[in-house]
């Protein structure tokens, strides 16, 4: 066995032990190296309470004892160099735990894992891929996202396209098909449901065992780099759904790693996540902080992801979240705030933005915790975006209401503007809303078959012009009728039917209009970018408002008729005289609508209306969205 000092840095392990090693993936795990002229693999694993640790794998016939590792001082890390191992070698750690029991554990820092149901780790290199996205990486540094368009396509790679059950597209295939599709549709970003290694397909990646392993379902890890590289070359950013809140209990994973609650909280009441059957991390433990924050940095550094959507914030910061009384605990102040989790999130965001100032850190948070997107130095959590779950819930409840009943629920579509600028929001229409009996977006809509499509086109128009960035789950763009089936591909065959094909064209056009209309996104997070024209017309269920851009007299007028009554003439107040161009009408025959004729341009008249000095008189079809732009 070589000298430990030749294998690991004391300084790096010190930083790991105090929660300050933020590239721990370069220190721990399995790394091919050359030592004293001999090639092999350096292994390092944190197991402070183990009696002994060995490495067993296909290079030693899966020996019960394996090659022995040596404890590195008081760091709790075991290390060793194995000349017989190489890139591609499969291995596990053979641990004699604190009680003397034998455990076979996958490497928490493994860079690759076997395809389920196998669970071994695989030696791989951390670097070596030749990237071709320099222009993209430089461009995003110059263009902060706040005053730009953001239109996110949320994707579950397994079921986006699937020829047969478990016949998944490879990363390389997706780098062609998915990228071309996203470009055609006009999406600015793709967000991937978790692609970290996980044992159960139907967990969608939310119950992870390999935090540093890109899942082998779609091929080797470099294939994922190809996919991201191609996205960037095509002008598309890539976000990763990241799950630091909990991990699954599978025996080969993190649970009781060295016979003790190492990664999970020692208090079982805090550790248990009964809703999901998982365990919460111990966010106050320094080594766990190094592990998790390094993982966030890893995906941004090694894989060039442009940002992370951080899952289930509400469950992390509330000690009582979805827990029965016997599992509820309080903090030292007697309240349910998880103080260590809050500190961890602040530290996470401070670290990420120190290394990647241009990153997107998006909180999936259903709680009312304040200042989620405020800087930590102002007392915030330090994210730069948060999902607007309140808007989503209110709007889906409203849209599911029959048009005849909507007038009594008018506040559901207006209340969001009371808080729209309190955080930097993303408006999510995500996978969570189209599973578990919730029905697809199209199927949620009331009325006849044709009315369902009209309602959905209207809803998408309102969504696209409401302040905030946008996210749509795959299938929503062509009116998937069945709710999401994670075990099968999307129902692409629906595009042979006229109304689904029309919906697809409408969404593509709506996306393009959004991208080409700066007033819809330049002041997304500024109250000056929004102005109601008519907010109080509950009786007719008609809303109108302005989205205002940075240039003088730059604005777009959104008109939404949520009723099933058409109005051949409807007067709408506007702030200035001149000509107004019709940008989009969801009721066009080409989109499956009634085809009521709408003039391409109108001139504002000096007729005061809705508190404005001028007005336009235009047709407003039933269940329709219309967008007008001042042009002169």
- The DSSP annotation for 510-564 comes to HHHHHHH-GGGTTTTTSGGGEEEEE---TTTTEEEEEEE-SSTT-EEEEEEE-SS
- Distance separating alpha carbons of residues 287 and 17, to the nearest angstrom: 5
- Distance separating alpha carbons of residues 93 and 108, to the nearest angstrom: 10
- Distance separating alpha carbons of residues 626 and 632, to the nearest angstrom: 19
Q: What pLDDT shows up at residue 553?
A: 83
- Distance separating alpha carbons of residues 360 and 375, to the nearest angstrom: 14
Q: Do the beta carbons of residue 443 and residue 479 sit within 8 Å?
A: no
Angle at 251 between CA 245 and CA 253, to 5 degrees: 45
Chain segment 286-306, per-residue pLDDT in tens: 999 999 999 999 999 999 999
What is the average per-residue pLDDT within 538-567?
96
Residue 87 has, within 13 A of its CA and on its CB side, a CA count of 10
Percent of the chain predicted with pLDDT > 90 = 95
Choice among 222, 287, 306, 364 that is catalytic: 364
- Residue with tokens 């709710």, as numbered in its chain: 483
- Distance separating alpha carbons of residues 237 and 594, to the nearest angstrom: 37
164-to-85, 159, 161, 195, 527 alpha-carbon distances in Å = 37, 10, 9, 20, 49
Determine which helix (DSSP H) or strand (DSSP E) holds 354, and give its type and residue range: helix 339-355
What is the average per-residue pLDDT within 122-128?
95
What confidence category does residue 4 fall into, taking pLDDT thresholds of 50, 70 and 90? Answer: low
What is the average per-residue pLDDT within 540-563?
96
Other C-beta atoms closer than 10 Å to the C-beta of 46 total 26
Q: Where are the beta strands (DSSP E) in 254-377?
A: 272-273, 278-280, 307-310, 360-363
Choice among 107, 295, 311, 340 that is catalytic: 311
Query: 288 by DSSP, 3-state: which?
Result: helix
What is the average per-residue pLDDT within 412-438?
96
Angle at 469 between CA 464 and CA 473, to 5 degrees: 75
What confidence category does residue 144 fall into, taking pLDDT thresholds of 50, 70 and 90? Answer: confident
Query: 76 by DSSP, 3-state: which?
Result: coil
325 part of the active site: no
- Distance separating alpha carbons of residues 32 and 126, to the nearest angstrom: 9
Q: Do the beta carbons of residue 274 and residue 320 sit within 8 Å?
A: no
The radius of gyration of the chain's CA atoms, rounded to the nearest angstrom, is: 27
Is the pLDDT at 94 greater than 60, yes or no?
Answer: yes
What is the average per-residue pLDDT within 156-165?
92
Going across the sheet that includes 38-46, the strands are: 29-35, 38-46, 77-82, 70-71
Q: Is the peptide bond before 117 cis (omega within 30 degrees of 0)?
A: yes
Q: Where are the beta strands (DSSP E) in 564-606?
A: 567-574, 579-585, 601-603
Query: 38 by DSSP, 3-state: which?
Result: strand
Chain segment 432-479, per-residue pLDDT in tens: 999 999 999 999 999 999 999 999 999 999 999 999 999 999 999 999
Alpha-carbon dihedral sign for residues 134, 136, 139, 141 = negative
Chain segment 392-405, per-residue pLDDT in tens: 999 999 999 999 99
Q: What pLDDT shows up at residue 552?
A: 85
272 part of the active site: no
Q: How many residues does the chain have?
A: 632
The phi and psi torsions of 327 (rounded to 5 degrees) equal -105, 5
Q: Do the beta carbons of residue 3 and residue 72 sit within 8 Å?
A: no
Chain segment 30-80, per-residue pLDDT in tens: 999 999 899 999 999 999 999 999 999 999 999 988 899 999 999 999 999
- Distance separating alpha carbons of residues 260 and 520, to the nearest angstrom: 53
Q: What pLDDT shows up at residue 380?
A: 97
Q: What pLDDT shows up at residue 164?
A: 86
Q: What pLDDT shows up at residue 632?
A: 78
546-to-365, 510, 523, 581, 626 alpha-carbon distances in Å = 28, 17, 12, 14, 12
Closest by CA position to 561, among listed 573, 570, 549 = 570
What is the average per-residue pLDDT within 584-600?
95
- Residue with tokens 């370069």, as numbered in its chain: 26
What confidence category does residue 1 fall into, taking pLDDT thresholds of 50, 70 and 90? Answer: very low
- Distance separating alpha carbons of residues 374 and 424, to the nearest angstrom: 9
Mean pLDDT score across all residues of the chain: 96
Question: Domains, the chain, ranges and CATH?
Answer: 4-122 (2.60.40.10), 150-387 (3.20.20.80), 410-420+435-632 (2.60.40.1180)
Closest by CA position to 297, among listed 348, 347, 246 = 348
Pairing of strands 237-242, 189-192: parallel
């Amino acid at each position: 066995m070589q000298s430990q000092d030749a294998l690991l840095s004391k300084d790096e392990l010190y930083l790991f032990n105090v929660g300050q090693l933020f590239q721990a993936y370069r220190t721990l795990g399995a790394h091919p190296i050359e030592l004293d002229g001999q090639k092999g693999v350096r292994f390092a694993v944190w197991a402070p309470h183990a009696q002994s640790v060995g490495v067993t794998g296909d290079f030693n016939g899966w020996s019960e004892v394996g090659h022995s590792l040596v404890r590195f001082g008081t760091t709790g890390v075991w290390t060793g160099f194995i000349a017989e191992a190489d890139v591609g070698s499969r291995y596990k750690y053979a641990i004699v735990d604190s009680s003397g029991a034998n455990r076979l554990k996958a490497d928490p820092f493994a860079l690759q894992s076997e395809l389920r149901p196998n669970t071994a780790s695989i030696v791989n290199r951390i670097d070596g891929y030749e990237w071709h996205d320099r222009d993209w990486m430089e461009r995003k540094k110059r263009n902060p996202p706040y005053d730009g368009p953001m239109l996110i396509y949320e994707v579950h790679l397994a079921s986006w396209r699937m020829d047969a059950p478990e016949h998944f597209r490879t990363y390389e295939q997706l780098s062609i098909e998915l990228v071309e599709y996203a470009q055609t549709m006009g999406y600015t970003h793709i967000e991937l449901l978790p692609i970290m290694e996980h044992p159960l397909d139907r967990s969608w990646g939310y119950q992870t065992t390999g935090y540093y392993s890109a899942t082998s379902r779609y091929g080797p890890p470099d294939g994922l780099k190809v996919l991201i590289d191609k996205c960037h070359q095509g002008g598309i950013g890539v976000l990763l759904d990241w799950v630091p809140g909990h991990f699954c209990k599978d025996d080969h994973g993190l649970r009781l790693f060295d016979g003790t609650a190492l990664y999970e909280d020692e208090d079982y009441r805090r550790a248990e996540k009964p809703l999901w059957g998982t365990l919460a991390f111990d966010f106050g433990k320094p080594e766990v902080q190094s592990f998790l924050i390094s993982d966030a940095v890893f995906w941004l550094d090694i894989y060039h992801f442009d940002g992370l959507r951080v899952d289930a914030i509400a469950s992390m910061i509330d000690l009582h979240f979805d827990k029965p009384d016997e599992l509820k605990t309080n903090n030292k102040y007697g309240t349910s705030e998880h103080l260590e989790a809050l500190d961890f999130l602040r530290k996470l965001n401070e670290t990420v933005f120190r290394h990647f100032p241009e990153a997107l850190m998006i909180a999936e948070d259903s709680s009312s915790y304040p200042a989620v997107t405020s800087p930590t130095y102002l007392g915030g959590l330090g994210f730069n975006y948060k999902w607007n779950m309140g808007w989503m819930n209110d709007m889906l409840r409203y849209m599911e209401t029959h048009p005849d009943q909507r007038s009594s629920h008018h506040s559901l579509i207006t209340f969001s503007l009371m808080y729209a600028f309190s955080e930097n929001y993303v408006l999510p229409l995500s996978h969570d809303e189209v599973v578990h009996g919730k029905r697809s977006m199209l199927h949620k809509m009331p009325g006849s078959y044709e009315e369902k499509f009209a309602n959905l086109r209207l809803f998408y128009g309102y969504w696209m012009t409401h302040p905030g960035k946008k996210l749509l789950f795959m299938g929503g763009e062509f009116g998937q009728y069945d709710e999401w089936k994670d075990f099968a591909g999307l129902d692409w065959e629906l595009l042979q039917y006229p109304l689904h094909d029309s919906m697809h064209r409408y969404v593509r056009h709506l996306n393009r209009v959004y991208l080409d209309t700066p007033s819809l996104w330049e002041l997304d997070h500024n109250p000056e970018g929004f102005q109601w024209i008519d907010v109080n017309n509950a009786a007719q269920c008609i809303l109108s408002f302005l989205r205002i851009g940075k240039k003088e007299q730059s604005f777009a007028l959104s008109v939404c008729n949520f009723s099933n009554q058409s109005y051949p003439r409807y007067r709408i107040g506007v702030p200035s005289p001149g000509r107004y161009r019709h940008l989009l009408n969801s009721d066009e025959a080409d989109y499956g609508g009634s085809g009521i004729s709408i003039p391409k341009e109108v001139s504002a008249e000096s007729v005061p209306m809705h508190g404005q000095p001028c007005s336009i008189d235009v047709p407003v079809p039933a269940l329709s969205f219309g967008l007008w732009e001042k042009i002169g």
